[in-house]
C-alpha cells in the first residue's frame, strides 16, 4: 500500500496522526501535494484549505493557518497555529474577524501592523470559504 505517516498538529491539539494516502496543503507558491515516497523537504504553510485522505476513507478538509510542513523519510509533520474542521468554524466570528482586519488595513498603520491585519484577513477568509463550501455540500455543521 502506498501510504505515509502524517502528524497534523495545531498549537492546541493533535488534529490527526496516522497513515495517509495523500495530503494537500496551502503553500506560499500554491497548493502542495504529498504522496508516499515524496522527497525530503520543508515548506511554509499559508492560511487555506488542507486536505488529507486516510486509507479507505473519504478526504478530510480543514482550515489551516500559517505554519510549516516537514517531510523526512516518508514521515510528514504539519505544524500550524490552528487547524479546524469545517463544522468547528464559527461563521459569524470569522465574518467579524474579516471585517475587523479590512478596517485595520484601511487605517494608517505601520507596515508591521498592516501585514498583521493582512494575515488576519487571510485566515478569516480561508475559514469562511471552507465553512461555506462544507455547508453547500449539504452537510450540517454545529
Reply yes or no on whether the pLDDT at 11 is more than 60.
Answer: yes
Tens-digit pLDDT profile for residues 45-64: 999 999 999 999 999 999 99
Reply yes or no on whether the pLDDT at 91 is more than 50.
Answer: yes
Residue 14 in contact with residue 7, Cβ under 8 Å?
A: yes
Tell me the pLDDT of the chain averaged across its residues: 90
Predicted pLDDT of residue 138: 58
CB neighbours (10 Å) of residue 32?
18
Residues above pLDDT 70, as percent of the chain: 96
Reply yes or no on whether the pLDDT at 112 is more than 90.
Answer: no
Residue 31 is placed in which grid cell?
Answer: 497548493
Tens-digit pLDDT profile for residues 21-49: 999 999 988 999 999 999 999 999 999 99
Band the pLDDT of 139: cuts 50, 70, 90.
low
Reply yes or no on whether the pLDDT at 10 is more than 90.
Answer: yes
Reply yes or no on whether the pLDDT at 121 is more than 60.
Answer: yes
Beta strand pairing call for 4-10 and 83-84: unpaired
Amino acid at each position: 500500500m502506498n501510504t505515509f505517516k502524517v502528524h497534523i498538529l495545531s498549537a492546541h491539539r493533535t488534529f490527526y496522526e496516522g497513515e495517509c494516502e495523500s495530503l494537500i496543503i496551502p503553500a506560499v507558491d500554491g497548493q502542495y501535494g504529498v504522496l508516499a515516497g515524496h522527497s525530503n523537504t520543508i515548506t511554509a504553510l499559508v492560511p487555506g484549505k488542507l486536505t488529507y485522505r486516510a486509507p479507505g476513507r473519504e478526504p478530510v478538509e480543514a482550515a489551516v493557518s500559517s505554519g510549516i510542513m516537514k517531510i523526512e523519510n516518508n514521515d510528514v509533520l504539519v505544524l500550524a497555529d490552528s487547524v479546524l474542521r469545517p463544522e468547528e468554524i464559527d461563521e459569524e466570528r470569522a465574518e467579524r474577524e474579516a471585517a475587523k482586519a479590512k478596517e485595520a488595513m484601511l487605517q494608517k498603520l505601520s507596515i508591521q501592523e498592516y501585514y498583521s491585519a493582512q494575515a488576519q484577513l487571510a485566515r478569516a477568509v480561508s475559514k469562511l470559504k471552507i465553512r461555506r463550501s462544507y455547508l453547500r455540500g449539504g452537510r450540517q455543521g454545529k
